[in-house]
Amino acid sequence: MESSGTALVVDHDETRVTALATLVKELGFEPVVHTTAVGAREFLHQRPDLDVIVCELDMEGLTWDTARRSLPELDVQIPIILISDEARADAMMTALRWGASDFFVRPLDDIEALERSLGRCRRQRQVRRELEQSRHSLEAANTELRGTIKVLEQDQQAGRQVQMRMLPSTPMVLGDYVFSHTVIPSLYLSGDFTDYFTVGDRHVTFFMADVSGHGSSSAFATVLLKNLFARKRSDLLRKNDETIYSPVAMLKRANLELMDLEVGKFATMVVGVIDTEANTLRYSVAGHLPQPVLVCREGARYLRGEGSAVGIMEDAHYEEHLIDLPDSFMLALFSDGILEILPPKNLIEKEKYFIGVFEETADSPEELVTRLGLDRVETAPDDIAALFISKRD
């Protein structure tokens, strides 16, 4: 008969152990025989691939109370069948308390019952093996996953460093004008981005972008927008292409490039151009909230503007506004992540609270950052970007 498993047969009586080993073999198991408790224990130390242990209850040199404590120490997960010469109730109960799978009394007349018991033990052992293999597989998968996560975190950290280096210098001072910014990503990489740079002798172009989603793909979209504005600035110098002076034209270009990217990303934006000689602002809004806030001696107000987010529809329409700026002002642009940390619950109340903060605290961007609690944000629920443009007369 082909062996269906391996059994450790333990009995100090050589005649009995030989007979029992023969019977176990006839029932389809390969017997491994030991006649001493010490020998069996040492054998178990080797962690053999056993299916069942068949052992004499009244084994010489074996205190079962000690064995009950020793088996867990050896981490033995092998089913045990105990054999005894007497059908004592106390012995049976003791065997069950020790964790025995079954109990038989000599003479072993019911061979079929023993065969069924050995089969149950083999199946039980197989289940334990499969569980152990699953545990090892899960541990290996977890180890691999932790390694992968660590690599991803390192990549994200490196990407964040690159993205932070793409931001403009802060503050940038141009005569009476001061440009500054802050970006707080909810993850390592941010879908919020801002930029400002001089164009010619008297203009400064700036934008605020809030790309949908989070993480790498959103950050890549901000790289595209940064590159677009840099290209159009270069086109002015090389080709006399004045697109960079037009917020509407820049939004239309951004709209087409995001759609051509075909990654399902869109972005709300504000694009503006300041003429530092005329002290005027030309701007366009593409679905961006909160809208830009202009603060001066007369108070604080939103700069209104209509237009859909870029990257959604090819024939998107954008409005362009031209306003004269006060002699002294602060212009503030935020991504919508700022709304997540404001105390009110609904959007209307948040916008009222937001404009109220500007009316109460308009001396400097630093005071505004403190008043809004940005200097205390450790983990933002959403990316937060802020751009400040100030002028003092």
Look at the domain 5-136 and name its fold.
Rossmann fold (3.40.50)
Strands 177-184 and 5-10: unpaired
Look at the domain 167-391 and name its fold.
Phosphatase 2c; domain 1 (3.60.40)
Q: Which two tokens stand for residue 206?
A: 């700036």
Residue 177 and residue 320: Cα distance in Å, rounded?
22
Of 269, 246, 237, 262, the closest CA to residue 335 belongs to: 269
363, pLDDT greater than 90: no
Q: Any residues with CB less than 8 A from the CB of 295 and at least 6 apart, and which?
A: 329, 330, 331, 332, 358, 359, 362
Say which range, 162-166, 242-246, 350-354, 388-392, has the weakest mean pLDDT: 162-166
Query: Tens digit of pLDDT for each residue in 224-263?
Result: 999 999 999 999 989 999 999 999 999 999 999 999 887 7
Specify the pLDDT at position 346.
87
**Which residue shows structure tokens 């940038």?**
172
Say which range, 14-28, 129-143, 155-169, 378-392, has the weakest mean pLDDT: 155-169
Intrachain domains 5-136 and 167-391 with the same fold: no
Residue 195 and residue 233: Cα distance in Å, rounded?
13
H or E stretch covering 74: none
Sorted by where each begins, the domain ranges of the chain are 5-136, 167-391
The C-alpha R_g of the chain, in whole angstroms, comes to 39
Cα dist from 31 to 59, 62, 193, 238, 388, whole Å:
18, 20, 73, 90, 83
pTM above 0.85, yes or no: no
298 — pLDDT class (breaks 50, 70, 90): confident
Q: Which two tokens stand for residue 101?
A: 């799978």
Residue 157 and residue 319: Cα distance in Å, rounded?
38
